[in-house]
Structure 1
Amino acid sequence: MDIRNIIKRPIVTEKAAVLKEADNKYTFVVDRNANKFQIKQAVETLFNVKVENVHTANYAGKSKRMGASSGYKNDWKKAIVKLKKGQEIQMVDEA
Structure 2
Amino acid sequence: MATTGKDPPLEVTEADTVAAAVLGCAGVARMHAGGIPPVATYLPGRRVAGVRLTDSAIEVAVVARPGVRVPTLDTEVRAALAPLARGRAVDVHVADIDMEG
What's the TM-score, normalizing by structure 1?
0.39
- Max Rg structure: 1
What's the TM-score, normalizing by structure 2?
0.38
Larger RCO of the pair (alpha carbons < 8 Å, separation 6+) = 1
